[in-house]
Amino acid sequence: MVGMVKALDGKIMTETSELHHLPPIGPVAALNDRQREALARVGRFEELPVGDYIAVQGQPHRSMSLLLSGRVAVSVDAHGDHVDLAMLEAGDVVGEMSMIDPQRASATARVAAGPARIWVIDGSAFDWFVAMEPTAGFVLMRELGKVLCRRVRHASDQMLSRAAELRAHFLDMDY
């Protein structure tokens, strides 16, 4: 049985008999069924319409969201320029850095296609889960580390590519 409940903050939360079910996708795929069920219980499921923000660059952000369906656009604004970074899909996460280093959001994440169904865990619940389920917590931290490594490698590749383009541009110039 599925029903919808409107939370105090206006977000639509899914109320269902499968409320505590996290599918084996993204960084939670490495957890077994029992571990995913335990993790699901310390977070919450939400459904967000197109245009809703999951995180806003520069704003306090102390939660991680696992995208279960829909698409989320990630972008940054720097020195007057708007840069689209990624289009996230089911299995991707937003806010994973805040689980390790709680700072302001480094990018804006906004629902681009959906509605987006997400599972959200705040920092204190994440810390509690890692303390109560150390084996699952270690696996989850390792998987989040892999996510961060992939993103750093991708950013490095983009910077190197841009540096090569700039170098070629200046070498082709007549002085």
Q: Is the dihedral of CA 122, 128, 132, 138 positive or negative?
A: positive
**Bridge partners (DSSP) listed for residue 66:** 93, 119
**Bridge partners (DSSP) listed for residue 118:** 46, 67
| Selection from 134, 122, 123, 110 nearest residue 49 by Cα | 110
User: Can you tell me the mean pLDDT for 147-167?
Assistant: 81
pLDDT tens, position by position, 93-144: 999 988 989 999 999 999 999 899 999 999 999 999 999 999 999 999 999 9
CA distance 121 to 109: 16
The pLDDT assigned to 55 comes to 96
List the chain domain ranges: 2-171
| pTM for the structure as a whole | 0.79
Matching residue, tokens 């206006």: 10
* DSSP string computed for 67-96: EEEEEEEEEEEETTEEEEEEEE-TT-EESH
Per CATH, the architecture of 2-171 is what? Sandwich (2.60)
Instruction: Determine contact, residues 107/85, Cβ cutoff 8 Å.
Output: yes
The pLDDT assigned to 20 comes to 53
Question: Which tokens is 139 given?
Answer: 């696996």
Work out the end-to-end distance of the chain between its first and last CA atoms, rounded to an integer number of angstroms: 72
